[in-house]
Structure 1
Amino acid sequence: MKRREFITKAGIAGLAAAGAAAVAPAVHASQKSTIKWRLQTYAGPALAEHVIKPQIDAFNKAAQGEMVIELYNSDQLVPTSELFRAMQRGTIDAVQSDDDSIGAPVDVAVFAAYFPFASRYSLDVPTLFNHYGLKEIWEEAYSEVKGVSWLGAGAWDPCNFATREPIRSVNDLKGKRVFTFPTGGRFLSRFGVVPVTLPWEDVQVALQTGELDGIAWSGITECYTVGWADVTKYYLTNNISGAWAGSYFANTDKWEALPEHLKTLFNLSMDSSNYYRLHWYWWGEAHYRTKGGKLELTSIPDAEWQTVEDEAFKFWDEIAAKSPRNAKVVAILKEYVDTMRKAGKPYRY
């Protein structure tokens, strides 16, 4: 369904429902109608099969007809960059994405998706949120925004380059037109990368036509899952982040209207989805490097790559200067990095 048709029909349906309510007979309290939500994910169809569809299918089954969530893929109803406003308006009810991509009007949005070198492994993300205070900071930030509730964060895959030409030095990044995330793109531009924004579904064609030189949007698991390994040739093993930090969001009125047992069920389904992705990506990142057969692995020497990591910490300080809350997050990230280094193997090598 086209987005314009969807919005138009949603408006007509609302008017029809209002008219029907004026003449409908009283319904007995025991005859409760099914709660219906529309949830849009950041992911295209092939990727959504792993990162969210199992969760939604399980939730709908467990809800036993009390609630049904209709799942929509990337840009299917609303462009990703407009998802936050669409939730506020109630055009859609919930979102799975990252704060950065959906244009969330909170200062901490900059830390979502791939904040450079904030994580080394996927377990870093839930650890930071649940044991280092990021959860409370996100709750505070979203309490200042009307209409949207932040429900929780989870970890996805790392951020590596998949390219048409090999990357073997930092200089090879110069001039490369790369599909990536907003904050990650701003950081990579320091090394000559040209960030490109496209609808997710257009990326594969853009790689085939040469409009894009590569992507810095995922790890190798997604490259194979969604078909990008078919239109790129090389995969850089160095990454700028060990895990994408994504979240779930909902229209506040719709969330608060849910009975407590359905809120609990949805939270449990989020936890289940977060767990599935931890092991699916951990399996896939090693499996496709060793047995994928389509992408040639390249690497930038550690000593040279260290210059990129050092630049990231300068970037952190610039972000910290944007607001007191950002400064608090950066202080936590620095404490975490220091703790992991002191802990040594297997936390840091």
Structure 2
Amino acid sequence: MKLKFPRRAFLAGAALSAGLALAGASASAQDTHSFKMATGWSGGPLMEIGAKAFAENVERMSDGRITIEVFPAGTLGPGLKVSETVNNGVAEMGHTWIGYDWGIDPTAVLFGGFAGSFDSERMLHWLYRGGGADMQAAWRMERFNLVSMPLFIRTSEVFLHSRKPVRTLEDLQGLKLRTAGAWLEISKSMGAAPVTMPGGDVYPALERGAIDATEWGTLWENISPGFHRVTKYVIIPGVHQPTAPFELVINNDAWNSLSESDQALIRDAAFKTTMDSWLTIGQEDAKALAFFREQGNEVIELDPEVQYEAREAGLAWAEEKAAENDWFKRVLESQKEFADLWKDSGRYRNVKVRQ
């Protein structure tokens, strides 16, 4: 026998079910979370307008439901191994430069920038509109079991703060410089003697003369570490690093503990922090060159030959890696397609002006 239910009762039941589902969703959206964030920095803009700014944005956007305690490099784990600290669950989140993991997979530097990269504006477009951030997330999950998204981006870095003048390829020969990522290999192929170390170790190494020079950040970012006090020369432009996107890594279990709406909130906070960092650094860099001159530093522009050679060496290095690494090849091809799409942008965007 077919049972008949009154339509009114059916609708009331449906409304009740919908109400309960909505209440459940609302309760889920109100979950509270407290996370620890490991970083690769002891202070400076990367900490203040990067990691800490992100934590503040998340807390504000979640009305205080999600809090993130930010720890300086070395507190929860080594500054160059933030992804490992997060993967091990010592911290739920981390702020790092993705290129530090290039030794595990060189694909990392394509997301973090290297001598063959395009500038920061193009990198932002590729990441957020050209599919780059999606590729980064897929690569990190497959290779490291970590959730990943951009967080903070630099404009072109200073090539070197140096105790010795550097203008030519000859000046690079045997130069003991601190660097990271692909430039370790590329600069060595050009005759330099590169080493790597966390940011906090660079100043004392320069002061002692253990290294001759360092690259680190942009003009403005390099004021706070005080490199100008232990070096005489500021070498520009940063052909080794035309752009430098940084990264938020999140432990997979911690990410899965968040509701979909809170995951979207994290993404929005990371995007806001990244765009704010780009705008702030661009504005402050414009003021910083005068600061170094006032401090008695000599500003040197690299010979065009060095600039050309560095980029060509970077592109050649990338082709070698692509031939032996499928992920590297896929990402490099995506960047090449993007560069081709933008190849005429200078013609329709740049207006020539008298200097």
Normalised-by-shorter TM-score class: 0.7 to 0.9
TM-aligned CA distance change 1:117 to 1:348, over 3 Å: farther
Q: Which amino acid aligns with 2:266?
A: F
Residue 34 of structure 1 and its aligned partner are, at CA, apart by 4.3
Moved more, 223-232 or 250-259: 223-232
Instruction: Say whether the 8 Å CA contact 2:86–2:250 is kept in structure 1.
Output: yes
SS of equivalent residue, structure 2 residue 271: helix
Partner of 1:42 in structure 2? 40
Q: Is 1:235 matched up with 2:248?
A: no
Structure 1 138/90 Cα, relative in aligned 2: closer, same or farther at 3 Å?
A: same
CA distance in 1, matches of 2:112, 2:141: 21
Matches of 1:348 and 1:309, distance apart in 2: 25
**Among candidates 143, 153, 160, match of residue 155 of structure 1:** 153
Where does residue 139 of structure 1 map in the other structure? 137
- Aligned residue for 2:219? 220
For residues 62-90 of structure 1, the C-alpha deviation after alignment (integer angstroms, 9 at most, x for no partner) is 43342211001222220023322221221
Question: Cα distance, 1:288 vs. partner?
Answer: 0.8
Quote the residue 1:17 is aligned against: none
What amino acid sits opposite 1:60 in the alignment?
A: E
Gaps of 5+ in 2: 1-26
SS at 2:107's partner residue?
helix
CA shift digits 1:258-300 (9 cap, x unpaired): 1233222222221121111111111122211134423321012
Any idea what the Cα deviations from partners look like across 1:221-273, whole Å, max 9, x if unmatched?
A: 12112222222221111222221121111000001101233222222221121
Secondary structure at the aligned position of 2:246 is classed as strand
Paired residue for 1:51?
A: 50
Maintained 8 Å contact 1:150/1:250:
yes
Distance in 1 between the 2:43 and 2:291 partners? Answer: 24
**Structure showing greater Rg:** 2
Between the two proteins, the alignment pairs up a number of residues equal to 319
The answer as to whether partners of 1:207 and 1:214 remain within 8 angstroms in 2 is yes
Computed over aligned residues only, the root mean square deviation of the Cα atoms, in angstroms, reads 2.6
TM alignment of 1:133-282, pairs within 5 A: 133-145=131-143, 147-152=145-150, 154-159=152-157, 160-239=159-238, 240-282=240-282
In 1, Cα distance between equivalents of 2:73 and 2:144: 24
Amino acid at match of 2:331: V
Instruction: Tell me the secondary structure at the aligned position of residue 155 of structure 1.
Output: strand
| 1:254 aligned counterpart, secondary structure | helix
Using the size of structure 1 for normalisation, the TM-score is: 0.82
Deviation for aligned residue 1:338: 4.0
| Structure 2 SS opposite 1:222 | coil
Using the size of structure 2 for normalisation, the TM-score is: 0.81
In structure 1, runs of 5+ residues without a counterpart are 1-28
Q: Which range moves more in the overlay, 238-247 or 288-297?
A: 288-297
Instruction: Say if 1:101 and 1:347 are closer, same or farther in 2 by CA, change over 3 A.
Output: farther
Instruction: Check the 8 A contact 1:75/1:199 in 2, yes or no.
Output: no
Which residue is 2:5 aligned to?
Answer: none
% identical aligned pairs? 18
Give runs of aligned pairs for residues 14-93 of structure 1, distance below 5 A.
Answer: 34-47=32-45, 48-93=47-92
Change (3 A) 1:330 1:348: farther
Q: Offset of 1:157 from its aligned partner?
A: 3.3
**2:344 is aligned with 1:342:** yes
Q: Distance in 2 between matches of 1:183 and 1:303?
A: 20
Residue number in structure 1 paired with 2:24: none
Give distance in 1, aligned partners of 2:251 and 2:263.
13
